Amino acid sequence: MSNFPLQNGVLHAEGVPLPQIAAQFGTPTYVYSKAQLLDNFAGYARPCAGRDALVCYAMKANSNLAILDLLARQGAGFDIVSGGELLRVIAAGGDPGKVIFSGVGKTVREIELALDKGILCFNVESIPELHRINEVAGRLGKRAPVSLRVNPNVDAKTHPYIATGLKASKFGVAFSDALATYRSAAALPHLDVVGIDCHIGSQLLDDAPLLEALDKLIELIDTLASEGIVLHHLDVGGGLGIDYGAGDAAPVPIASYVERVFARVDAWRADKYDGRPIKVIFEPGRSIVGNTGVLLMNVEFIKPGEEKNFCVIDAAMNDMARPTLYQAWMDVQPVTPRQGEAVTYDLVGPVCESGDWLARDRALVVEPGDLLAMMAAGAYGFTMSSNYNTRGRAAEVLVDGENVHLIRRREEPAELFALESLVG
């Protein structure tokens, strides 16, 4: 995380000391680096330059309007999974014509909204969904562009909750059923069958499973073409992981992966697809925003225990769900490192759950009032946060060089029950 350097004994976000941000905006606060965000996106955009390709940011990773606006200005499209996310794209100035709508449970109202706004494509995940989209499009006098999300039964070798490409997954159409499903889609009068999609899971450090899935998609595209169903785009999904500092193998560089995808696609088009054009779409999320952010938090108490020592912080599982939900290892660093003998702590929050921990067995030299930073917290941090225990969600701040922008203020308790009513 080169844009969060330790300078003069203090962690910074680009050119701004993190204690300055804590003093101005309080804690817990998510702090993002604009430079890191743009650099990560460029890892995809540069190899795509001059090609028929589109990078659709998977906005479930971090959907703050400022993040979406910055990416839209760079030419990004967006991968969405709800009508609300589509409205966010529009509010941020994004182009609906660059939106891919994924997800297994699209409602009639969401389909109507997407057709009205003119999205690029629906990633369809079942035959009932095909019929629903066809019915809505017919009623509105429109034609719906669709792609099938094909489940290639490739093991991504990641956490079970974020592995989406196996037979037992709720996502996608089984590879063995894909040909028949495409035939059904092509027969429906209000659909345009335009593409194929695949997403096998998240936090992949090796691109071998992704390339294996790509090979299976190419095989299916050839079979479809032989039946007269010629596709216009190939969506390889997302899934590239980031370095969380746990000592795992280094993730494959973004540009290297993108170049390997194009090498395969170019060779196939020249050899078997008669050189026909096909747009390549990527759906990255974590690899664009994961290492752009830290979660800034304050040490409230040090609580020695008979079997465990606890460092009680003001951030909690409602602010960052990944550790307790996925047993995810997140690196935690003192903002101003102290000298002294380290003590092993579990970092826990104030939420009334034994599962409320953000890190376990960490050797730290800390005192109450110290600031800590959870590193690589830009993805699936704020977007998965909640108001459990009537806790307002954290503030979000974007740093651009030496400039600090509040991009979401902290929620106040009264706002959390403002929509509720007493009875009688």
Residue 283, annotated ligand binder? yes
Runs of H (alpha helix) within 74-107: 83-91
Q: Closest Cα to residue 371, out of 294, 304, 310? A: 294
Rounded-to-10 torsion of CA 337, 340, 343, 347: -20
Residue 284, annotated ligand binder? yes
Residue 286, annotated ligand binder? yes
Ramachandran quadrant class, 236 (left: phi over 0; alpha: psi -120 to 50; beta: rest):
alpha
User: Can you tell me the distance from the alpha carbon of 193 to that of 187, in angstroms, rounded to the nearest whole number?
Assistant: 10
Residue 380, annotated ligand binder? yes
Find residue 333's DSSP bridge partners.
373
Residue 285, annotated ligand binder? yes
Rounded-to-10 torsion of CA 92, 291, 250, 51: 20
Parallel, antiparallel or unpaired: strands 293-303 and 310-313? antiparallel
Q: Are 347 and 357 in contact (CB under 8 A)?
A: yes
Catalytic choice (56, 121, 311, 352): 352
Catalytic residue check, 352: yes
Q: Closest Cα to residue 378, out of 253, 254, 285, 294? A: 294
How far, in Å, are 47, 183, 221, 235 from residue 186 at the CA level? 33, 5, 14, 19
Runs of H (alpha helix) within 49-104: 65-73, 83-91
3-state secondary structure 214-271: HHHHHHHHHHHHHCCCCCCEEECCCCECCCCCCCCCCCCCHHHHHHHHHHHHHHHHHH
Q: Are 382 and 311 in contact (CB under 8 A)?
A: no
The DSSP H or E segment spanning 19 is helix 18-25
Q: Are 185 and 199 in contact (CB under 8 A)?
A: no
The residues that are catalytic are 352
- Positions at the binding site for substrate: 286, 322, 326, 353, 380
Annotated binding site for pyridoxal 5'-phosphate: 239, 283-286, 380
Specify binding-site residues: 239, 283-286, 322, 326, 353, 380
